[in-house]
Structure 1
Amino acid sequence: MEGNPTGIQGGRLSPADYEANFSDLHPRLDRHEALVAADRCYFCYDAPCMTACPTSIDIPLFIRQIATGNPLGAAKTIFDQNILGGMCARVCPTEELCEEVCVRNTAEERPVEIGRLQRYATDVAMDADKQFYERATPTGKKIAVIGAGPAGLAAAHRLAVKGHDVVIYDARQKPGGLNEYGIATYKAVDDFAQREVDYVTAIGGIEIRQGAALGRDLSLADLQSQYDAVFLGLGLAGVNALKIEGESMAGVEDAVEFIADLRQAKEKATISIGRRVVVLGGGMTAIDAAVQAKLLGAEEVTICYRRGKEHMNASEFEQDLATSKGVVIRHWLAPRAVLSENGVVKGIEVDYTKLVDGRLALTGETGFIACDHILKAIGQTFEASGLDTLAMEGGRIKVDAEGRTTREGIWAGGDCVAGGDDLTVSAVAQGRDAAESIHRALAAAQPVVAVA
C-alpha cells in the first residue's frame, strides 16, 4: 500500500498478471501430445527408469499402455505402486530420477517426458473419478495414522484396501501436508492437492481428524490403547534459525511460511512482497520462494547460497527455472547480519566463503546486498514432541527396513524418519511399505518384532 515504509506490500500486479504468472508450470499433455511423447519410449527390458523411481512404478508398461490408447490402464499401473502418482508427476524431480537415466537422455536427445506422461494418465483417471480398488473384507482392525501428508495418505490408502479401518490425525486445518502447504503454487494449480486427497480417501474406511497434534492433543500411549497399530507420518514442522543479528526484525520471515501463505491465499494480491528480496538457502524451498517472489512482482530477487552451484540441493532444472524468471543466484555467500535503518530492513551483510580441505570456511571478506525483504530457506527440522519413548537417529525417528520403530506396534515413514531424502515420492514409498508391514503383522496375530 502507498506509504508503506518497509516497501513490503501486496497488489503490485494486475489480476491478469497474477493469473498468468501462477498458471500451470507444465500444462497437461493432450491425447495427441501424449501419444507422440509415448512413442519415443524404447520400452527397455532392463528399465533403468523403473529402477530410479523410489516407488518402482513400471514405467515402460504404463507408457506402452498410453501408446496403445489405454490411459486408464496406465493410471492403474501407476497407482498400484504410487497412489499419489498425480502429485508426484507434478512435483517429482524427474530430471534427477527416472528421466536422468532414460537411455534417450543424451547430448543429442532429450529424455522421454515420463513425468508429463504420468500426469496425463493419472489426470484422465481422476477426472473420470475412476476407482481401481475395492476394500477387502473388513478385518476389524483399526490403525491410527499421524499426519495427512504423502506418507500418511499412502499408508492409509494401502491399509484401507486391505480391509482395515484408518483414522488420520493431522495438526493442520486441511489435509495434504507438504502437498497442500509446502510446494510452489504454479506446480499444482486448481486445488489439486485437495482433489487428490478426496480421490485417495474415496476408497472408504478412512477418517481424517484435523487440528489434532501429537504431544498436544494426542499421546502415543493413548493411541496404542485405542488402536491395533500406529503409523507416524509427521513430516518436518520446525525451521532452522540463522542465529545472526537482526534475524527477528520485521521484513525477515521463513520461506516455508511464505510459501504456505501463498498456497492458501484466495487472492495472490493479498500476499506482500518487497521490491528487493534476498532468499537464503540452496534447496527446493529457496527456489520455490524466490521464483514466487518474482512472480508476485518483486523487482530484484537474489538467492544467496553458502556453497557452490554443484552443492545446491535444488536440481539443475529448478535452478535454471529460477534464472529464467529473473532470479539471480549467488554462491559462496553466508549471512552475517541483517542491517536496518529506523527499524526497517535495508540489506544483509554477508561473509564470502570457500572450501578448505573439504570444509566450509570464511575468507575474511564481507559484502552487502541491499534489500527490504529476506526469506529464510535454510532447512527444516523435525519436532519430536510426544516421541520420548522412541529411539532417534540424526534427530529423526529410527526405523528398520519395514518402517518399524523401536516401540512395538508403531511404524513411521516420510521426512520424519532417519536417512530420508525429503522427497514426496520417497515418503509415498515408505508409507506404502510400512502399511504392508503393518498388515502382515496384524494378519500374523503375533507380537511385532521391534528394532534392536
Structure 2
Amino acid sequence: MSVERRGNTISGGRLPPERLRENFRDLHAPLTAHEAAVEADRCYFCYDAPCMTACPTSIDIPLFIREIAADNPKGAAKTIFSANIFGAMCARVCPTETLCEEVCVREVAEEKPVRIGMLQRYATDHLMETTTEHPFSRAAETGKRIAVVGAGPAGLSCAHRLATHGHTVTVFEARQKPGGLNEYGIAAYKATNNIAQAEVEWLLGIGGITIDAGKALGRDIHLKDLAADYDAVFLGMGLAGVNALTAEGATSEGSSDAVGWIADLRQTTDMTQVPVGEKVVVIGGGMTAVDAAVQAKNLGAEDVTIAYRRGKDAMSASEYEQEIAATRGVQLRYNLQPKRILAEEGHVTGITFEKTASDGNGKLVATGEEVTMEADQIFKAIGQSFMPDGVAAEGAALTLESGRIAVDGERRTSMAKVWAGGDCVAGGEDLTVVAVEDGKIAAESINAALGA
C-alpha cells in the first residue's frame, strides 16, 4: 500500500507512529462519572421535550438523562437501546448539533445545550463495558424466518427487533464484515477502539440472528428466491454506487473516490503504510468530504483543501463538522466547480475550477472565471447512488422513485413480502440514526404482517 510513485509525492510514512496515534485519537474524550452527573444536572427534563421530538428514533432523552442523574447509567442505556439499538455508535456520529441539541431549551435560551450525545455515549458505553448480559431477551420462537439483505444499521436494526419478537433472521452481507456505514464509512477518529464491530457483536447477543457474509444480491442471492424461501424480506443495502465526476481528466492516477479511501483507511492495521499526498484537494460539501480531508491532514498531508461548488450555508456538512476541518488545518473554499483535472504522465498535478455564483433564485451559474490549485491527490466526495442492478436484473416487481426503492410509511415495497429501509429507499438520508429507525419500523410492520 505504501508505494512511492516517480513523478509525484504520494507516499506513506509521512508521520511517525506516535504522531499518527495522537492525530487519530478519539475525537472526544468520554465523560467521567462526575462529568456526566454535572452535565445531567443541567437538563430541565422538559415535559414536552423538543429534543425527543428531534431525535429520529424518539429516544426518551429526559428519562435517560434523569437516570444518569440518579446514578443509574445501565438503566439509562436500556432506555436508549430500546429506541435505538445502535445508541453507542449514534452517540459518536449523529449530528446532534442539528438534531436534539439544536432544539435544547438551553440552546434556545442562548446558552450551551445539554451535551446529549456525550451523555448517551456515557450510558451506552458503561453498559457495554460492564456487562455481558444482553438487556433484551427473545420472545418464544415463532418458527418464522426472515431474510435481511445488508448488515448495516438499517438491516441489523430490523434483525434485532425481529429477533426480540422470536423470529429467526438470516442477514446476508456483501462484504466480509458486518456494520455497513458504521464499519466502512465513518472517519477513524470518530469510531476508535473497534467500536463498530464491538456494537455489532453486542447486538447479536440477543440470539436468533445469523450473519452470512460475502453474499451480494444479484450475484450470490436473488430477491425472488428470498421471497419464496422466507416469510419476509428486508432490503437494507445502502448505497453501493459513487457519483461520477464529469470533469476532464477525472480518471487520472491520484484521483479517486473518498468513500473507498475512507473504507480502506478504516480497515488498515498500520496507518504508517497509508499513502497520502502533500497537496490534497477534496471535492464535495458533505460529511464524507470533511472526513476525507481531516484524515488526509492527520496522515501528514501538508496542504488540504475542501472545494465546494456552492456557498458555505449550502454545505450538507454541519457548521460543527466544518469547524472540525478548519481547526485541523483544512482550508474550506466555496463556489468552486471542478472543470478539469491536470495531469502529467497520467498522474494528477492540479485541478482547475470555475467560480460559481447564485442567480438570486437559488440556481447555480458559472462565472467564467477560473482558479487552478496544485494537487498530487484528489478525492471525489460528491455523493453516492443506489445500484438497482441486484433487483432490476431479476425482473423483481420493485417500484423505484428517484432512482431508489419506493416504500410506504411502514417501509413496505411494491413487492409482496418485501420491505426496505435506509439509504436505498426513496427519501432516505445519509444518517445512521435514520437507517436505524427505518429498520425498526419495518420490523414492527413485518411482525404484524406475520400475525405474531
TM (normalized to structure 1)? 0.97
- Would you say the 8 A contact 2:184–2:266 is kept in 1? yes
CA displacement 1:95-116 (0-9 Å, x = unmatched):
0000000011147421000000
Is 1:297–2:305 an aligned residue pair?
Answer: no
Is 1:316–2:319 an aligned residue pair?
Answer: yes
CA displacement 1:262-306 (0-9 Å, x = unmatched):
100001111110000000000010000000000000000000000
Aligned match of 2:194: 191
- Would you say the 8 A contact 2:233–2:417 is kept in 1? yes
What SS does the corresponding residue of 1:415 show, helix, strand or coil? Answer: helix
Percentage of identical aligned residues: 61
Q: Report the residue type matching 1:221 in the other structure.
A: K
Q: Report the residue type matching 1:407 in the other structure.
A: M
Is 1:363–2:367 an aligned residue pair?
Answer: yes
CA displacement 1:22-73 (0-9 Å, x = unmatched):
0000121111111011010000111000000000000000000000000000
Q: Report the residue type matching 1:245 in the other structure.
A: E
Alpha-carbon RMSD: 1.0
Is 1:264–2:267 an aligned residue pair?
Answer: yes
- Would you say the 8 A contact 2:4–2:10 is kept in 1? no
Aligned match of 1:450: none
Distance 1:304 1:367 in 2: 11
Is 1:435–2:443 an aligned residue pair?
Answer: yes
Distance 1:272 1:358 in 2: 39
After superposition, where does 1:116-265 map in structure 2 within 5 Å? 116-128=118-130, 129-265=132-268
CA shift in 2, pair 1:371/1:138, >3 Å: same
What SS does the corresponding residue of 2:45 show, helix, strand or coil? Answer: coil
Question: 1:5, CA displacement in angstroms?
Answer: 2.3
CA shift in 2, pair 1:442/1:251, >3 Å: same
Q: Report the residue type matching 1:282 in the other structure.
A: G
Aligned match of 2:69: 67
Question: 1:386, CA displacement in angstroms?
Answer: 2.7
Match of 2:37 among 29, 35, 52: 35
Distance 1:4 1:192 in 2: 38
CA shift in 2, pair 1:186/1:271, >3 Å: same
Distance 1:6 1:246 in 2: 16
Q: 5+ residue gaps in structure 2?
A: none
CA shift in 2, pair 1:136/1:57, >3 Å: same
What SS does the corresponding residue of 1:185 show, helix, strand or coil? Answer: coil
What SS does the corresponding residue of 2:106 show, helix, strand or coil? Answer: coil
CA shift in 2, pair 1:370/1:107, >3 Å: farther
Aligned match of 2:341: 338
- Would you say the 8 A contact 1:336–1:349 is kept in 2? yes
Aligned match of 1:351: 354
Q: Report the residue type matching 1:324 in the other structure.
A: T
Question: 1:126, CA displacement in angstroms?
Answer: 0.5
CA displacement 1:287-337 (0-9 Å, x = unmatched):
000000000000000000000000000010000000000000000000000
Aligned match of 1:447: none
Distance 1:302 1:107 in 2: 35
Match of 1:281 among 280, 284, 299: 284
> Number of aligned pairs?
444
Is 1:405–2:413 an aligned residue pair?
Answer: yes
Match of 1:376 among 377, 380, 385: 380
Q: Report the residue type matching 1:409 in the other structure.
A: K
TM (normalized to structure 2)? 0.97
Distance 1:178 1:200 in 2: 16
Question: 1:18, CA displacement in angstroms?
Answer: 0.6
Aligned match of 2:310: 307
What SS does the corresponding residue of 2:389 show, helix, strand or coil? Answer: coil
What SS does the corresponding residue of 2:189 show, helix, strand or coil? Answer: helix
Aligned match of 1:395: 403
What SS does the corresponding residue of 1:180 show, helix, strand or coil? Answer: helix
Q: Report the residue type matching 1:392 in the other structure.
A: L
Question: 1:245, CA displacement in angstroms?
Answer: 1.3
